[in-house]
Amino acid sequence: MTRQSFVYGAFILLMASLLNRLIGFVYQIAMIRLIRPEGVGLFNMVYPIYVLVLVLAAAGIPVAISKLVAEEVGRGSLRGAYRIFSIAFVCIIVSSLFFTILLIAGSPFLQRYVFPNPQVYYCFISLVPGVVIVSLCSAFRGFFQGLQQMTPTAVTQVTEQMVRVVAGLVIAYLMLPRGVEYAAMGISLGVVLGELTGFLFMLSIYFRRRPQPSGFVLYLPEPGLKVAGRIFELAVPVTLTRFVSTALLSLDAMLIPRRLQEAGLSITEATGVYGQFVGIAETLLFTPGIVTISLATALIPAVSDALAQGDLPLVRGRTEEAIRLTMLAGLPAAGVFFLLPQELCSVLFGYADAGAALGMLAIGGPFLYLQQTTTGILQGLGHAGRPLKNLVFASLFKVTGIYFLTPVPGLTIRGTALSLCAGYIIMALLNYRDLKELTALRIDLAYCLGKPLLATLGMMVVMWYARSHIFPFAGVTLAGLMGVLFLGGAAYLIILLLSGGMHSYDLHRLSSFLGWRR
């Protein structure tokens, strides 16, 4: 298997993420309509806890595998890359088994003291087998990403998503007559079946397509303890960053429904409003993350490789390109969410009320996407501790805002959305400050930010006019909404091309799938 360029690798992940997001959209719409916001709220009360345990079980080892394997390959030592992977794999087996046992033993405590709704227990316990499955699969993905081979990750993610959607909806439909909590359990079982299928597929790819060392190369293996030390030197701060991030999501899942009840909502109403927030508003907001998360995943080995070669200009070039691509995708998406929140939520999901939160979240959207990209760059530079510090600082403002703004009767879930925006803005700015300090980064603001922003504002004007005069019923019909989005998208691309924000080589790279290096 040959190495892929940074942009080509990101493009492969982007295409897989686009397909996954399309499948996920259909899934989310069907799930909302099948088990209603209350069922979605139940699932999303336990899912962050599950992800939190996954973070602890994986212990940041997949990211360490990706970075260290990339470094060994950059030095021409494929045998060293395999040694790192084998030692890391043993560590992740032990860790995932330990946390699975701990999770089973602690489930009664979680049901009694942590979950805000006691109906979530069956949903939660159904997710437990996924801890070992996902942890092991993530190790193989980290290995291939370290080789700058993103195709195995992309293929297995698509397979996993398809099985998850079909199995989850079928089981939820069959379980729905027994109650919404059993339908939510069906969604959980679908998650685990999808993860199992993706893992088995990844094993097949590894044994059939893994690269073999060629020729005789003198190789003196490092002592196992030294290799383990290198792994955990990077894995620990990555784990802490992800642990804090997912712990805060778990805190949100516990805190938001309770603070909504303080505003006067019943437990059923609070669960439904929370389900609309995470199942509709946040689902739409995170959609452009298909670009930024793909970039972040591809950037870790790409930046590590450039750093191992001592090529700081290459690091800066890739960083600037990643920020530009983030703004090209993130700014217009945020503009759409800000201008058409009720229309999107009503036409796609059937719940226009969720648009109030989406409109607020759109303010912080570009900063969320920038935060995701810059975190990947900092991890690739070997400074995974910096995003952790920034996340903790930003989260203080977010959690404080959720606590005090959510119970305000005039704000409720809007106050929650404003609090999340504050966290996104603060962390993105702190990450950018760290990048400037570490790499002496100086991006062209007019090119990377100004021109995409100009095109976005022009797009919003066209969409506003189209909504008011050409498709006045855009909020009622799918055809009207698509017409507004088409005209807005065309205006965005035209303005971007005329202003020089996008060049012919961007389109050429995209259409020809050529590997490219700065």
Q: How does DSSP assign 446-491, residue by residue?
A: IIIIIHHHHHHHHHHHHHHHIIIII-TTTTT-HHHHHHHHHHHHHH
User: Which pLDDT does position 218 carry in this prediction?
Assistant: 41
Measured in degrees and rounded to the nearest 5, phi and psi for residue 290 equal: -60, -30
User: Which pLDDT does position 387 carry in this prediction?
Assistant: 86
Q: Could you read off the pLDDT of 11-38 as tens digits, one per residue? A: 666 666 677 777 877 888 888 888 888 8
DSSP state of 340: S
CA distance 326 to 406: 30
Confidence check: pLDDT of 39 > 70: yes
Mean pLDDT of 36-63: 81
More reliable by pLDDT, 121 or 518: 121
Mean pLDDT of 112-125: 76
Q: Could you read off the pLDDT of 369-413 as tens digits, one per residue? A: 999 888 878 877 878 778 888 988 998 999 999 999 999 888 899
Confidence check: pLDDT of 53 > 50: yes
User: Which pLDDT does position 365 carry in this prediction?
Assistant: 94
- Where residue 217 falls among pLDDT bands split at 50, 70, 90? very low
**Lowest-pLDDT range of 127-136, 219-228, 502-511:** 502-511
CA distance 10 to 297: 7
CA distance 155 to 150: 9
Q: What angle do CA 460, 466, 472 make, to 5 degrees?
A: 130
- Radius of gyration (C-alpha) of the chain in whole angstroms: 23
CA distance 423 to 259: 18
Average pLDDT value over all residues in the chain: 81
DSSP state of 422: H
Residues 6+ apart with CB under 8 A from 260: 269, 270, 273, 274, 406, 407, 412, 413
8 A C-beta contact, residue 366 and residue 327: yes
Measured in degrees and rounded to the nearest 5, phi and psi for residue 382 equal: 85, 15
Mean pLDDT of 258-272: 84
Q: Residue 159: count other Cβ atoms within 10 Å of its Cβ.
A: 18
More reliable by pLDDT, 63 or 75: 63
Q: Could you read off the pLDDT of 73-111 as tens digits, one per residue? A: 766 667 777 888 888 888 889 888 998 998 888 878 777
The token duo for 324 is: 């530009």
CA distance 321 to 448: 8
- pTM score, two decimals? 0.70
Q: Could you read off the pLDDT of 139-150 as tens digits, one per residue? A: 888 888 777 676
- Where residue 473 falls among pLDDT bands split at 50, 70, 90? low
Mean pLDDT of 321-329: 84
CA distance 250 to 44: 9
Ranges of beta strands (E only) in 17-120 are: none
More reliable by pLDDT, 234 or 169: 169
The token duo for 511 is: 């259409």
Confidence check: pLDDT of 116 > 60: yes
